[in-house]
Amino acid sequence: MEKSLLKLDKGTTCTSWNYSGDRLASGSVDGTLAVFDLRHPASSSFACTSRTKVDEGSIVKIVWVPPEYGDAVACVCEDGTFSLWEELTEDSLPVQWKLCERFKSSSAKVLDVQFGVSPSSLKMVVASSNGYVKVYELTNPMELKNWQLQAEFQNVIDLVSPSSKTLCLSASISWNPLRGEGQGSSFVLGFSSDSPQLTSSKVWEFDRAHQRWLPVAEMALPDDRGDQVHGVAWAPNIGRPYEVIAVATEKGISIWHLSLNVEVDGRLSVEKVASLSGHEGEVWQMEWDMSGMTLATTASDGTVKLWQSNLKGSWQEQATFVPT
């Protein structure tokens, strides 16, 4: 049933597949970015095509830039900086990975970076350890160098802002994966932090009329607002009349339906439709399949689990994979 695709380098800490699943970027403890490619389109064997030193410290996360902006990745490092690297061929030199931009901040560590495509431009959301979220916009679609800071805000829904000495340990961002024309951009964001106001997952939507980001929904029941969020995942929607978002907190995974209709107060109504228990320990990663019907999760128990809803709308564990 399982088949080995490739072997990772010594010291590899994270991996990330590109949009088509025929390139894998891996990051290692010594700051090396390795890229693996299919040997040829019909084969299923991969080979390492480049190794680039991107940082002195360990890489903790790699995120691919959407393909219409080139073959590029963001590498988040352990020290809280991140850099953008792009594969380029210049002036008849062989193809190589080049640094586009390095983002550093003395005040806070970067916890998560995710890219979202809006009809006009590429947007990048960066969540930091001080609880702030920055949204950047790419000014020239042919170059990943020039980023303009479009907005900066905290993950709070009411106006009372949390104390300034907030410390967040992890953050999770997930963009609404739909790319249709005329669709506004939105993403969901949650923190694991010592400030209960910041933690709960909220959906942020760009209000084009006023050129600002607004929180339109909160994915937490009143009693659970302070729960540490370990992961969020927005499911692809191929035609459902509502959106589906998975949120993993210290209490387990929950599935939320997000209505597409705006209510009077400008919010979107949400409904928690399922609580999925089965993982022992903290959930690390959640990934929806391309139809948005199956959710794959991993956790500190070292297992991979698959979840699906049946016809009655009840979510169930479908399978568990245990590396042996």
Q: 59-78: which residues touch other proteins (CB under 8 A)?
A: 67-71
Q: Could you say whether residue 236 binds other proteins (CB under 8 A)?
A: yes
Cβ atoms 171, 153 nearer than 8 A: no
Q: Could you say whether residue 24 binds other proteins (CB under 8 A)?
A: yes
Q: Which stretch binds other proteins (CB under 8 A): 6-14, 77-85, 167-175, 246-254?
A: 6-14
Give the total of residues touching other proteins (CB under 8 A).
Answer: 90
| CA-based nearest residue to 274, from 293, 251, 246 | 246
Which residues within the stretch 76-135 sit at the binding site for other proteins (CB under 8 A)? Answer: 86-90, 92, 95
| CA-based nearest residue to 268, from 308, 234, 303, 302 | 234
Based on CB atoms, which residue is closest to other proteins, 191 or 288? 288
Cβ atoms 168, 130 nearer than 8 A: yes
Which residues within the stretch 241-270 sit at the binding site for other proteins (CB under 8 A)? Answer: 241-242
Residues 6 and 10: their CA atoms lie apart, in Å, by: 13
Cβ atoms 51, 33 nearer than 8 A: yes
Which residues within the stretch 43-62 sit at the binding site for other proteins (CB under 8 A)? Answer: 44, 46
Among 25, 28, 199, 276, binds other proteins (CB under 8 A): 28
Q: Could you say whether residue 296 binds other proteins (CB under 8 A)?
A: yes
Q: Could you say whether residue 16 binds other proteins (CB under 8 A)?
A: yes
Which residues within the stretch 267-286 sit at the binding site for other proteins (CB under 8 A)? Answer: 284-285
In this structure, the number of other CB atoms found within 10 A of the CB of residue 292 comes to 18
What's the closest the beta carbon of residue 215 comes to other proteins, in angstroms? 25
Based on CB atoms, which residue is closest to other proteins, 240 or 251? 240
E strand residue ranges, 155-220: 168-175, 186-193, 202-207, 212-218
Residue 123: C-alpha distances to residues 117, 183, 206 (Å): 6, 14, 11
Q: Could you say whether residue 208 binds other proteins (CB under 8 A)?
A: no
Residues 192 and 227: their CA atoms lie apart, in Å, by: 8
Q: Could you say whether residue 317 binds other proteins (CB under 8 A)?
A: yes
Q: Could you say whether residue 319 binds other proteins (CB under 8 A)?
A: yes
Residue 195: C-alpha distances to residues 103, 179, 199, 300 (Å): 25, 33, 7, 24
Q: Could you say whether residue 211 binds other proteins (CB under 8 A)?
A: no
Based on CB atoms, which residue is closest to other proteins, 100 or 135? 100
Based on CB atoms, which residue is closest to other proteins, 152 or 271? 271
Which residues within the stretch 169-188 sit at the binding site for other proteins (CB under 8 A)? Answer: 179-181
Based on CB atoms, which residue is closest to other proteins, 200 or 297? 297
Based on CB atoms, which residue is closest to other proteins, 89 or 107? 89
Residues 6+ apart with CB under 8 A from 76: 59, 60, 61, 62, 63, 82, 110, 111, 112, 113
